[in-house]
Amino acid sequence: MSELNFHHLRYFHLVARLGNLTRAAEQLNVSQSAVSTQIRLLEERLGQPLFERRGRTLVLTEAGRIALDHAETIFATGEELLNTLGERPSSRRQVLRVGSLATLSRNFQIGFLRPLLGRDDVEIVVRSGALGDLLKNLEAQRLDVVLSNIAPPRDAATPWISHTIAEQPVSLIGTPERTASGATFQELLVGEPLILPTVETSIRSGVDALFDRLHIRPRIAAEIDDMAMIRLLARDGVGLAVVPPIVVKDELASGELVEVDHFPRLTEIFYAVTLARRFPNTLLRELIAGVADRPG
């Protein structure tokens, strides 16, 4: 088997970074056809198309994205050799690109990523946003995984894979002052102001169904789509929060907040959303495979 031609790889690396053959040719001081030839030879050697054309822009295929990651590792290794022999510090790191729903619990995100946090050989990039934008970035291979408490619909056009990585109970939680009256769970639901997730959430639909069964008209202090904001309002005593305990685990541990009770048959499910890929990120595989062995 013939060896990989690093001259081809260098041309590919520059085109991948610029997304344009003409600009790459100008920087290399060669003709555009010469660059195209080098890319074609590399694709033939690897047996995979590395680019697809969208208008005037070249976009990496999945194989192209993998090739780029390896090319950058190869060139970084060469630089590391120079740094090592020149007695200059350097390091190489694997990268995991994570998209996270902007309203998702920070405690949950940290818990999922904890096995990789602090590792010298790993860099974690986390980008928050709306689910639609995150899924577009996942499809474009700018993200390796999207963390969400909403499972996106799956069909032939959008074949998302939603890995269930946690299921948390939903509880009624508040300050000791608001929960010290000795009132029952149902009495607190009737008598105390409530901090609720917004109507778009799965938690809210379950809570509203319970209110309907019990003929309760809740006193709503606030409707919030951000778990971090719910946490702050609960700590400030604005009302009793309807929230998974993981969101306020530090406050529960310190006694700043108290858990009254779980809502019956109501949970929040957390997902790691991916796409089927021929070359999945090994760090992501490691995280998902280890979920079953971690405490909930």
pLDDT tens, position by position, 15-70: 998 888 888 889 989 999 999 999 999 999 889 999 988 877 888 999 998 898 88
pLDDT at 207: 92
pLDDT at 243: 92
Q: Where residue 87 falls among pLDDT bands split at 50, 70, 90?
A: low
Give the HSE-up count for residue 137: Cα atoms under 13 Å, Cβ half-sphere.
20
Domain pair 6-85 / 94-165+271-293, same fold = no
Nearest residue to 244 (alpha-carbon basis) of 179, 146, 172 = 172
DSSP letter, residue 161: E
CA distance 248 to 250: 6
- Domain 94-165+271-293 belongs to what architecture? 3-Layer(aba) Sandwich (3.40)
CA distance 171 to 156: 37
pLDDT at 92: 58
Q: Where residue 226 falls among pLDDT bands split at 50, 70, 90?
A: confident
Among 84-88, 92-96, 100-104, 217-221, the range with the most confident prediction by mean pLDDT is: 217-221
Question: Where are the chain's structural domains?
Answer: 6-85, 94-165+271-293, 167-268
Q: Where residue 1 falls among pLDDT bands split at 50, 70, 90?
A: very low
Q: 227-255 pLDDT, tens per residue?
A: 889 999 999 999 999 999 988 999 999 99
Give the DSSP per-residue string, the chain: -PPP-HHHHHHHHHHHHHS-HHHHHHHHTS-HHHHHHHHHHHHHHHTS--EEEETTEEEE-HHHHHHHHHHHHHHHHHHHHHHHHTT------EEEEEEEETTS-HHHHHHHHGGGTT-TTEEEEEEEE-HHHHHHHHHTTS-SEEEESS-----SSS-EEEEEEEEEEEEEEE-HHHHTT---HHHHHHHSEEEEE-TTSHHHHHHHHHHHHHT---EEEEEES-HHHHHHHHHTTSSEEEE-GGGGHHHHHHTSSEEEEEEEEEEEEEEEEEE--SS--HHHHHHHHTGGGS--
pLDDT at 293: 53
Q: Is the pLDDT of residue 73 over 60?
A: yes
Choices 1.10.1370.40, 3.40.1260.10, 3.40.190.10, 3.30.160.60: CATH for 167-268: 3.40.190.10
CA distance 194 to 238: 8
Q: 178-223 pLDDT, tens per residue?
A: 988 888 999 999 999 999 998 878 788 889 999 999 999 999 999 9
Please count the residues of the chain: 296
Domain 6-85 indexed as CATH 1.10.10.10: yes
pLDDT at 90: 47
Q: Where residue 105 falls among pLDDT bands split at 50, 70, 90?
A: confident
Average pLDDT, rounded, for the chain: 86
pLDDT at 251: 95
Going from the C-alpha of 6 to that of each of 11, 39, 75, 155, 211, the distances in angstroms are 9, 11, 10, 40, 66
Q: 131-160 pLDDT, tens per residue?
A: 899 999 998 888 999 999 888 887 767 789
